[in-house]
């Protein structure tokens, strides 16, 4: 296997010499039918509205082959050290199934370790949901609160919200879930004041067991429990930990139980590990989690094909690089036409920007081309009444990723003016794809739409646990492939360290740093 920078690739040079297709011209039924690839059995990726044709596709395949993208993926799932900066394996795929070889590390079979944690999560959540495990005053738990930040918050929160409607319609008994993340004390307070503490189970999530925000919020919660005046309530019987085996929380008497992750699961890739599984299994039951994991595993398997015509994550990654490095578009919007995905763009923002927002390659050499774009987004149709103005008529082009579903989650809908709300929703989605691509001429320049705005569409029948798993894994794998293309390490986050060091310095009285002193003096 060889690693090289994108700008040294022969295929990339060829790609740069091709003219982009003009989206005002190329859309037709045949293209819309054929320019798509399965991301899993349930999720489809359509790229008809991307500014490329067969020539580009052929060169993108060459680029993938030249950069050995799927071989690198195979090396990753086979347990090679792909997080070079931190000298770690990258094993989040293994939390949902076996894609490569059996991986041994830390003296154990890592697949077996993750399966064991899942099994323990099932036993524990079954016991809580059935009332075998109850709170310290004898009452059943009705609410679970995750205390975590970053990857311990954004992914699990997005997934919890994404499945609520589906689980409700399926009649699945639910525990209410809440999240505390910010060190801002108002975040914890706003949650705590709504809780029936006797019936609340807290899930403390920190891989290291030392995350400042998380431990501080844990202490705020313990303080609130102690001050509640409830006779006999014991905070430690209302708290479990998700952490690494070596962390101070792992065997602490201050928690009821602990579930384990390890150093090979990055925070932003941890939604399918215990970090996501504990809260989802408590809230919706273990079977829902299993469906979710199976969907993710399916997408992981689909991402193994070296052919871009069979590998949606790979093709999505390559097209993204075409937009970023050939057409020079600096940002991408994620636009789910599903209110259930309201926080999914925030999760993808972390996943993508924290993974590929890097300026050095995997060997630490400065890169001379742009890497990860700015990612943002809100659900449609809300976004249409907000920032779409700029997307349609602004001076910059922003590539778009639409997500859509045929059927709503609750399946409670009405006909108004001859169509259901779901039909209106999808009519809008389709209308936007076409409006962005084709534009519109008008003698009034204010009503002129330049068009030629690229987009893609991920779609499925309904947002259920399996589809959500596929969607999540599709993006994780897309980001991974882009990291390989840019020849960087998508699995560390050294960029968060300097802020931590300086924050500690401020809390220590600034240690003579007059600039810090002056700024903190303002607040």
Q: Which of residues 176-215 bind a copy of itself (CB under 8 A)?
A: 181-190, 193, 212-213, 215
Secondary structure (3-state) at 211: coil
Q: How far is the CB of 6 from a copy of itself (least distance, A)?
A: 12
Q: Give the residue, chosen from 97, 100, 156, 379, that forms a contact with a copy of itself under the rule CB under 8 A.
A: 379
Before 381, cis peptide (omega within 30)?
yes
Active-site annotation holds for 385: yes
Interface stretch with a copy of itself, choices 89-97, 196-204, 295-303, 368-376 (CB under 8 A): 368-376
- Residue 474: CB partners within 8 Å, gap ≥ 6? 39, 40, 43, 45, 299, 303, 312, 313, 316, 458
Q: Which residues pair with 243 in a beta bridge?
A: 260
Binding of a copy of itself by 387 (CB under 8 A): yes
* CA–CA separation, 493 and 278 (whole Å): 25
Residues in the chain: 523
The DSSP call for residue 449 is B
Contact between 122 and 281 under an 8 Å Cβ cutoff? The reply is: yes
Pick the closer one to a copy of itself by CB: 48 or 293: 48
Binders in 266-305 for a copy of itself, by CB under 8 A = 267-268
Binders in 410-439 for a copy of itself, by CB under 8 A = 410, 412-414, 416-435, 438-439
Q: Give the residue, chosen from 2, 28, 231, 253, that forms a contact with a copy of itself under the rule CB under 8 A.
A: 28
Q: Give the residue, chosen from 18, 20, 27, 233, that forms a contact with a copy of itself under the rule CB under 8 A.
A: 27
Binding of a copy of itself by 367 (CB under 8 A): yes
Q: How far is the CB of 410 from a copy of itself (least distance, A)?
A: 4
Binding of a copy of itself by 476 (CB under 8 A): no
What tokens were used for 142? 């009705």
The DSSP call for residue 19 is P
Binding of a copy of itself by 462 (CB under 8 A): no
Binding of a copy of itself by 364 (CB under 8 A): yes
Distance between terminal CA atoms of the chain?
53
Binders in 85-114 for a copy of itself, by CB under 8 A = 85
Contact between 508 and 502 under an 8 Å Cβ cutoff? The reply is: no
Q: Give the residue, chosen from 262, 316, 378, 476, that forms a contact with a copy of itself under the rule CB under 8 A.
A: 378
Contact between 402 and 457 under an 8 Å Cβ cutoff? The reply is: yes
* CA–CA separation, 176 and 48 (whole Å): 41
Binding of a copy of itself by 117 (CB under 8 A): no
What tokens were used for 293? 């994991």
Pick the closer one to a copy of itself by CB: 29 or 229: 29
Catalytic pick among 198, 213, 354, 378: 354
What are the E-state strand segments in 152-297?
176-180, 200-205, 239-244, 257-261
Interface stretch with a copy of itself, choices 24-32, 87-95, 96-104, 285-293 (CB under 8 A): 24-32
* Beta-carbon-side half-sphere exposure of residue 42 (alpha carbons within 13 Å): 23
Contact between 441 and 498 under an 8 Å Cβ cutoff? The reply is: no
Residue for token pair 């099932």: 122
Contact between 360 and 488 under an 8 Å Cβ cutoff? The reply is: yes
Q: Give the residue, chosen from 8, 101, 447, 511, that forms a contact with a copy of itself under the rule CB under 8 A.
A: 447
Binding of a copy of itself by 254 (CB under 8 A): no
Active-site annotation holds for 424: no
Pick the closer one to a copy of itself by CB: 59 or 191: 191
Q: Give the residue, chosen from 125, 409, 456, 487, that forms a contact with a copy of itself under the rule CB under 8 A.
A: 409
Binding of a copy of itself by 127 (CB under 8 A): no
Pick the closer one to a copy of itself by CB: 155 or 469: 155
Interface stretch with a copy of itself, choices 64-72, 106-114, 277-285, 444-452 (CB under 8 A): 444-452
Secondary structure (3-state) at 462: strand
* CA–CA separation, 57 and 8 (whole Å): 19
* CA–CA separation, 46 and 448 (whole Å): 27
DSSP codes of every residue in 31-99: HHHHSEEESSSS-EEE-TTSS--HHHHHHHHHHHHHTTHHHHHHHHHTT---BTTTTB---GGGGS---
Catalytic pick among 223, 500, 511, 517: 500
Binding of a copy of itself by 47 (CB under 8 A): no
Binding of a copy of itself by 455 (CB under 8 A): no
Binding of a copy of itself by 350 (CB under 8 A): yes
Active-site annotation holds for 511: no
Binders in 133-162 for a copy of itself, by CB under 8 A = 149-151, 153-154
Q: 516: exposed, middle or buried (C-beta count within 10 Å: 0-12, 13-18, 19+)? A: middle
Q: How far is the CB of 52 from a copy of itself (least distance, A)?
A: 17
Q: How far is the CB of 115 from a copy of itself (least distance, A)?
A: 28
- Residue 200: other Cβ atoms inside 10 A: 24
* CA–CA separation, 482 and 372 (whole Å): 8
Binders in 388-407 for a copy of itself, by CB under 8 A = 388-396, 398, 404-406
Q: Give the residue, chosen from 106, 219, 287, 511, that forms a contact with a copy of itself under the rule CB under 8 A.
A: 219
Binding of a copy of itself by 445 (CB under 8 A): yes
Binders in 307-326 for a copy of itself, by CB under 8 A = none
Secondary structure (3-state) at 125: helix
Binding of a copy of itself by 38 (CB under 8 A): no
Binding of a copy of itself by 54 (CB under 8 A): no
Pick the closer one to a copy of itself by CB: 48 or 256: 48
Interface stretch with a copy of itself, choices 67-75, 127-135, 139-147, 446-454 (CB under 8 A): 446-454
Binding of a copy of itself by 250 (CB under 8 A): no
Catalytic residues: 354, 385, 500
């Amino acid at each position: 296997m060889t690693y090289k920078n994108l700008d040294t690739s022969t295929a990339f040079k060829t790609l740069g010499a091709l003219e982009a297709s003009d989206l005002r011209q190329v859309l037709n039924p045949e293209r819309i039918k054929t320019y798509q690839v399965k991301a899993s059995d349930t999720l489809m990726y359509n790229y008809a509205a991307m500014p490329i044709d067969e020539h580009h596709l052929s060169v993108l395949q060459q680029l993938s082959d030249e950069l050995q993208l799927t071989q690198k993926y195979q090396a990753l799932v086979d347990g090679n050290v792909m997080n070079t900066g931190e000298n770690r394996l990258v094993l989040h795929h293994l939390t949902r199934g076996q894609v490569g070889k059996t991986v041994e590390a830390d003296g154990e079979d890592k697949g077996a370790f993750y399966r064991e944690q899942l099994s323990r999560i099932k036993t524990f959540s079954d016991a809580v949901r059935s009332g075998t495990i109850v709170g310290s005053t004898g009452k059943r738990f009705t609410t679970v609160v995750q205390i975590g930040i970053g990857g311990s918050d954004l992914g699990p929160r997005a997934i919890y919200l994404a499945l609520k409607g589906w689980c409700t319609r399926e009649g699945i008994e639910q525990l209410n879930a809440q999240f505390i993340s910010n060190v801002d004390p108002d975040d914890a307070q706003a949650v705590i004041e709504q809780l029936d503490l006797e019936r609340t189970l807290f899930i403390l999530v920190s891989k290291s067991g030392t995350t400042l925000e998380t431990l501080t919020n844990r202490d705020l919660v313990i303080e609130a429990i102690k001050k509640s005046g409830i006779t006999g309530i014991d905070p430690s019987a209302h708290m479990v930990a998700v952490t690494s085996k070596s962390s101070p929380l792992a065997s602490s008497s201050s928690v009821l139980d602990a579930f384990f992750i390890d150093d090979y699961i990055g925070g932003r890739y941890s939604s399918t590990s215990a970090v996501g599984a504990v809260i989802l299994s408590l809230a919706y039951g273990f079977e829902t989690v299993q469906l979710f994991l199976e969907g993710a595993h399916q997408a992981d398997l689909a991402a193994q094909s070296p052919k871009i015509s069979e590998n949606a994550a790979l093709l999505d990654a390559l097209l993204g690089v075409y937009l970023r490095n050939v057409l020079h578009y600096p940002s991408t919007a994620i636009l789910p036409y599903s209110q259930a995905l309201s926080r999914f763009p925030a999760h993808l923002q972390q996943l993508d920007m924290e993974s590929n927002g890097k300026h050095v390659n995997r060997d630490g050499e400065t890169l001379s081309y742009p890497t990860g774009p700015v990612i943002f987004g809100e659900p449609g149709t809300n976004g249409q009444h907000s920032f779409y103005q700029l997307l349609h008529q602004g001076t910059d082009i922003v590539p778009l990723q639409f997500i859509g579903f045929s059927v709503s989650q609750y399946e409670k809908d009405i006909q108004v003016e001859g169509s259901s709300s779901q039909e209106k929703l999808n009519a809008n989605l389709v209308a936007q794809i076409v409006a962005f691509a084709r534009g519109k001429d008008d003698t009034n320049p204010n009503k002129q739409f330049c068009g030629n705005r690229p987009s893609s569409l991920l779609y499925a029948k309904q947002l259920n646990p399996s589809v959500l798993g596929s969607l999540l894994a599709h993006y994780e794998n897309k980001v991974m492939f882009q990291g390989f293309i840019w020849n960087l390490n998508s699995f560390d986050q050294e960029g968060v360290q300097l802020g931590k060091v300086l924050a500690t310095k401020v809390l220590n009285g600034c240690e003579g740093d007059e600039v810090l002193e002056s700024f903190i003096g303002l607040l």
